[in-house]
Amino acid sequence: MNNTVKILLLTFLLSSAGSVVSAESEHDHDASEQTTATDNHQQESNGDDGHGHATEESEESAGVSLSEQQTTLANIKVEVLSARAMDYQVYAPGEILANGYTSYLVSPRVDSVVLRRHVALGDHVEKGQRLVTLFSESVAEAQATYRVSSAEWQRVKKLGRKAMGDNRFISAQSAYEAAYGRLLAFGLSETAIQALGKKSQALGEYTLTAANSGSVQSDDFNQGQRVESGEALMELSDEQELWVKALLAPNIQLDLPAGTLAQVKVGKEWFTAKVIQEAHTIDPQTRTRVVRLQINNDSHRLHPGQFADVYFAFDTAEAVLAVPESALMRSSDGDWTVFIEVEPGEFKAQEVELGRTLGKWREISGVESGSRVVMEGAFFVASQIAKGGFDAHNH
C-alpha cells in the first residue's frame, strides 16, 4: 500500500471517531437536563423553597403531638384556664436596721483624748448614763473661762443692777451665758457644767452621757486614743422599734402606701411590720426599689444586721386570667406564648399579651377562658415543637 492510500484511510477513521464522541456528549447533556427537571419537581412537591431549605410553618400554627408516655415522663400538667380573683404574695429580701430616728452617734465635738469608757458593746443604757470620759485642752480653757464668768455673774447679780450699773450687769451676764453655752456645745451636760462652780475638779476632763435610752450598737475605740471632732465613738439605738429595709425589683408595679402590712420572717420566727416610707429613687448599688418598714421589737428578739424575708400580701379586685410564670415561653420571634391542648396529646402554641405580675403568676390576655393550658412542662412542649421545626422531613 502506497503512502497516499495510507493517509486517506487514516483520515476516514479519525472522522468516524469524532462523530461517535459528539453523539455521546449530546446524549449525556440531554440526560442531565432531564435529571435536573425531575429534582426540581421533587423539591416543589416536598415544600422546598428552591434553595435547599424547607418552608417553615407559621408560629401561630406550630404544634406537636405527644404520646401519653411522653406527657407522663415530662410531667406535663394541663388545666382549664378560668377567670378568678387572685390572692398572691410578693417576696422581697430585706435586712433589719436600727431606727434612724431614735438612734444617734456619740462623738466629741472638739479634738480630745479618750480617758475611760463606762459601757461596752451590747450594753443597755438609760438616758443620762455616763458613756465615755475624755480630755481636751479646749474644754479645759472653756471650763476655766466659765468658772471666772460664773463667779463674776454671781457677785454682780447679788449686788444688783442698780448698784453695778447697766453696762457692768449686762456684760457679766453675757460673759456667763457665753461660757455656759460654749460648754454645752462641747457636749457637757447641764449637771456637769453646774458642778464646775460647786467643787474643784481637774480641768479638761468631761464625760459624754446618753441622750436617751438604748443599746450600744458599736464602740470601735480604745482608751488613750486621740479622736478628732465629729469622729464616732459609739452608736446608740432604741431597739423597741426597728426598721426593715426591703428590696424590690424596680419593674414590679406595686402600690405600697404607708400603713401597708407585711409579714417578715427572720430565722424561723414571723413578725408583722408596716410600711412607713418608700424611696423615690433606685438604689445605685443594688439597682432595686427600697421600701422601709417599721417593726415592733418589745421582746428584743430582733437585732440590726439580721437578714429577713419580707412578704407583701395582695388580692385582685376583679377576676383575671393568669398562669404560672413557668407556663410562659418565648417564641422564635420573641413573642410570649402558652401551649393549648386542642386534642388529647395535641398541643398548639398560642401568642399572649402579659399583664400584671401576681406573685408567681402572671396575668395574660389573648386566650379564651375555658382553654386547656399547659401549666407545667411547657419547656418540654416548646422543645418538641422546635425540634419538629428544624427537621426538614418533620421526623
Label residue 76 by pLDDT band (50, 70, 90): very high
In the chain, the amino acid numbered 84 is R
Smallest CA-to-CA distance from 135 within 195, 187, 212 is with 187
Model pLDDT, residue 315: 84
Q: Which residue has the cell 453696762?
A: 167
**% of the chain at pLDDT higher than 90:** 56
Quick check: 19 pLDDT over 90? no
Give CATH 2.40.50.100 domain extents, the chain: 104-237
Question: How much is the pLDDT for 14?
Answer: 39
Lowest mean pLDDT: which of 25-34, 131-140, 256-265, 379-388? 25-34
pLDDT tens track for 331-362: 888 899 999 999 999 999 999 999 888 888 99
Q: What residues does 148 pair with on adjacent strands?
A: none
3-class secondary structure per residue, the chain:
CCHHHHHHHHHHHHHHHHHHHHHHHHHHHHHHHHHHHHHHHHHHHCCECCCCCECCCCHHHCEEECCHHHHHHCCCEEEECCCECCEEEEEEEEEEECCCCCEEEECCCCCEEEEEECCCCCCEECCCCEEEEEECHHHHHHHHHHHHHHHHHHHHHHHCHHHHCHHHHHHHHHHHHHHHHHHHHCCCCHHHHHHHCCCCCCCCEEEEECCCCEEEEECCCCCCCEECCCCCCEEEECCCEEEEEEEECCCCCCCCCCCCEEEEEECCEEEEEEEEEEEEEECCCCCCEEEEEEEECCCCCCCCCCEEEEEEEEECCCCECEEEHHHCEECCCCCEEEEEEEECCEEEEEECEEEEEECCEEEEECCCCCCEEEEECHHHHHHHHHHHHHCCCCC
Domain 59-86+319-390: CATH class, spelled out: mainly beta
pLDDT at residue 61, as a whole number: 52
| Domain span(s) for CATH 2.40.30.170 in the chain | 93-100+238-315
Instruction: Tell me the CATH architecture of domain 104-237.
Output: Beta Barrel (2.40)
pLDDT by residue (tens digit) across 97-111? Answer: 999 888 889 999 999
Q: Give the pLDDT confidence score for residue 199 in this predicted structure.
A: 65
Q: Let me know: does 136 contact 282? Beta carbons within 8 Å.
A: no
Residue span(s) of the chain under CATH 2.40.420.20 come to 59-86+319-390
Architecture (CATH level 2) of domain 93-100+238-315: Beta Barrel (2.40)
